[in-house]
Structure 1
Amino acid sequence: MADGIKSNRIRRLKHIEAFSAVISTGSFSAAARQLGVSQPAISQLIKVLENAIGAPLFIRRNGAVFPTSRAESLREDAVSLLAHLDRFQAQLSYGRTGVLSTVRLTASMSIASELLPNIVSEIVADHPDAMFYVSSVPLSSMVQSLIQGHVDFAFHTRPLEHPGLHNAKVGVAPLVAVMRADNPLAAAKSLSVRDFAGQRIISSTRNDPAFHYFSKLWHENGVSIKTVLQSPFAGFAIRMVEALSAVTFNNALVAEKICDRDPNLIMRRVEGVDFETSFFLACADWQKGSDTQEKLIAAFETLAVNTSTE
């Protein structure tokens, strides 16, 4: 291979680290502080990288640094490379290795939209440089994503079954009735199952254990209800309560987040409804006991403790 080509190879990961730090912090000085080196060292690393690529990566203007279109095109590859190196080091250490610099999470839709913002915020408060990738995929895809290493952790209301995965039960939440504030039931001091006779109900789907629980509960109490919608998504079901003038029973963690934002909705505990939603954090076995796992569990527990179900 020609010497000219060899000289253009980037052999040292520190160049990629410097690039990623500059593009994420927006300045050479901040990148230097993040990596614990001098600003001239960062400038030199970026210069070598630009010479190897043959194109400028940053534009300096009025003391600020702006990435070029070429830098933007390389951003995701750099982040992905460093994230994979983090995971490689974590697997070598197989245990407490510090919080991953890039954490890839997947979760059911309602957990991702209603609960993960608080969980991520809790971790970022202690680890401001951490980066997160969040997605929502079907239950079956979560297993494959974890096994194949496409994501690091998965939140769901069911354990993910696979011999190579570890499921940690991170919390439970009671099911509460969510209704419009002008529903006559909202004014009652206490509610029982029989109070819901004749109500319009938004239920879960048949593959959800809660569906069968309530079918049995209505039957045992001689309660006739009208099902107006079925949905596996807690957040969607709760948001449809107002439009359909209906009632839904869903977990208190998601219900509280939505009710706090919508004054037209309230949630109530119902005597005789003892079903609970369990929450699990799944990961590959090598992540079991890691600092990242423990941080995620602690953040979820803080969220659960701060939820009121009165």
Structure 2
Amino acid sequence: MRAPSLRQLEALMAVIEGGTVSRAAEIMRISQPAASKLIRDLEADTGLELFERESGRLVPTGRGMRLYEEVQRIFGGVHQLTRAVEAIRREERGHLVIGAMPALSGMFLSRVLSGFLARYPDVFISVETRSSQFLSEAVLLRRLDLALVVNSHEHPSVTVEHLQAPPMVVIMPHGHRLSDKSEITPEDLKDEPFIALGESSRTRNLVDAAFRRYNLQPKVVIESTTIHNVGELVAAGLGLTIADPLSLEFAANRVTARPFRPTQIYDYHIIRPVRARNSSLVSAFVEEVHAASLKVQLIV
């Protein structure tokens, strides 16, 4: 017995699925005699009677149907493999998996994505918003192509790049009496109702340290665990806060911002695997991150 060729097996499937040799020839884009020859050669090579001839038509025998079912299963696996290969190629060519800590996952990340997709409209992007620790581990495991985090640790398999974020600012409701000042110090804020993040947050630590230089403490009236809540409370007129402009950009049209002295910088980092897939796309995305940080919408 000779091993059947793929073309012969295609002819078998085409005849059974098309119902006639002529239809099979159309499906395979060959002549009818060529299709008939493929079937005859298949029967000769396998030593099996695969079709019965009835009134000029080919009717599959039981053996023919059994072989058809096996071929169908094998071809199905081949097609599935082909789809998997295409999916891999598509991902390698145009798929990025991005991570961002919650503070940067709002308007700032939206501006980054808008700028990037304007340049690469065919790239598919997945975004994961989690804690910096979780994202750092995900980059280390190469589950993420890039992540925006704070307090990143050095590792030989990870590239860490500082994000040039603008200095922290005082955020206050529109029309507040301090909005007339060109810059604001802890002395100006000592009696003002203050909306603070939790004591474990880096922002809170920076703010408290700045006040200690003046032997002062902020007059905290409300404490919240998320920067989004803090921004909404300030916009509602319940107090002031100090934050980096990137994290409070969503409230830009509803609050007033003024420079805070002494200058405080919130250290964001861009991390990515050293041997990142889609390295050119990742580099382009990093460019957009830096560009967006220089065009923060929270006007001071």
CA contact (8 A) 2:252 2:299 kept: no
Superposed counterparts of 1:150-165, under 5 Å: 150-165=143-158
Give the Å deviation of 1:189.
Answer: 4.0
Verify the 8 A CA contact 1:160 1:282 in the aligned structure 2.
no
User: Does residue 8 of the first structure (1) align with residue 76 of the second (2)?
Assistant: yes
Question: 2:4 — aligned with what?
Answer: none
Question: Residue in 2 aligned with 1:303?
Answer: 292
Letter in 1 for 2:160: N
User: Taking structure 1 as reference, are residues 219 and 129 closer, same or farther at Cα in structure 2, changes over 3 Å only?
Assistant: same
CA distance in 1, matches of 2:163, 2:234: 28
* One of 209, 223, 232 as aligned partner of 1:230: 223
| Structure 1 SS opposite 2:246 | helix
Q: Is contact 2:135–2:149 with CA below 8 Å preserved after alignment?
A: no
SS in 2 for 1:151: coil
Equivalent runs, 1:39-188 vs 2, <5 Å: 81-82=88-89, 86=92, 100-188=93-181
Asked if 1:200 is matched to 2:200, the reply is no
Match of 1:154, SS state, is strand
Relative to structure 1, the CA distance from residue 230 to residue 163 in structure 2 (aligned partners, 3 Å threshold; closer, same or farther) is farther
Counterpart of 1:72 in structure 2 is none
CA distance in 1 between counterparts of 2:133 and 2:150 reads 13
Q: How big is each residue's C-alpha offset from its partner over 1:68-127, in whole Å with a ceiling of 9 and x where there is no partner?
A: xxxxxxxxxx5xx5565x1xxxxxxxxxxxxx5111111111211121111111111111
Residue 224 of structure 1, CA deviation = 4.4
For 1:231 and 1:199, the matched residues in 2 are separated by: 17
Whether contact under 8 Å (2:193, 2:238) holds in the other structure is yes
Is the alpha carbon distance of 1:208 and 1:187 closer, same or farther for their aligned partners in structure 2, counting shifts above 3 Å? same
d(CA) in 1 for partners of 2:252, 2:299: 12
Select 1:291's aligned residue among 267, 270, 280.
280
1:166 shift after superposition:
1.6
8 Å Cα contact 2:235-2:251 kept in structure 1: no
Structure 1 pair 224–138 and aligned structure 2 pair: CA distance change class (3 A): closer
Aligned counterparts of 2:72 and 2:282: Cα–Cα separation in 1: 46
Cα distance in 1 for residues equivalent to 2:167 and 2:195: 17
Q: Distance in 1 between matches of 2:221 and 2:281?
A: 42
Q: 1:17 to 1:124 in 2, by over 3 A?
A: farther
Aligned 1:262-273 pairs, distance under 5 A: 262=254, 265-270=255-260, 272-273=261-262
1:233 and 1:204 map into 2 onto residues whose CA distance is: 7
Q: Could you tell me the TM-score, scaled by structure 1's length? A: 0.65
Q: Is the CA contact (8 Å cut-off) linking 1:196 and 1:223 kept in structure 2? A: no
Give the Cα–Cα distance (whole angstroms) in 2 for the partners of residues 232 and 169 of structure 1.
25
Match of 2:78, as an amino acid? I
Partner of 1:89 in structure 2? none
Is the 2:170–2:257 Cα contact (8 Å) retained in structure 1?
Answer: yes
Aligned partner letter, 1:266: T
| Displacement after TM superposition at 1:198 (Å) | 1.2
Asked whether the 8 Å contact 1:170–1:297 carries over to 2, the reply is no
Correspondence for 2:266: 277
User: Post-superposition shift, 1:305?
Assistant: 2.2
| Contact 2:173–2:236 under 8 Å retained in 1 | no
Question: What one-letter code is carried by the residue in structure 1 that aligns with 2:231?
Answer: I
> What is aligned with 2:6?
none
Question: SS of 1:159's equivalent?
Answer: coil
For 2:76, give the aligned amino acid.
N
Count, aligned residues: 231
Task: Tell me, in whole angstroms, the C-alpha distance in 1 between the residues paired with 2:109 and 2:183.
Answer: 32
For 2:278 and 2:186, the matched residues in 1 are separated by: 42
Q: Which residue of 2 aligns with 1:32?
A: none
Greater gyration radius = 2
Contact 1:269 1:309 (C-alpha < 8 Å) held by counterparts: no
Unpaired runs of 5+ residues, structure 2, are 1-66
How far, CA to CA, are the matches of 1:153 and 1:144 in structure 2? 11
Cα displacement (A) at 1:179: 0.7
Stretch moving more, 127-136 or 192-201: 192-201
- 8 Å contact kept, 1:194–1:221: yes
Work out whether residues 166 and 284 of structure 1, in 8 Å CA contact, stay in contact via their aligned partners in 2: yes
Decide whether aligned partners of structure 1 residues 277 and 223 sit closer, same or farther in structure 2, where only a CA change above 3 A counts.
Answer: same
Question: How many angstroms apart in 2 are the aligned matches of 1:7 and 1:216?
Answer: 68
One-letter amino acid matched to 1:5: R
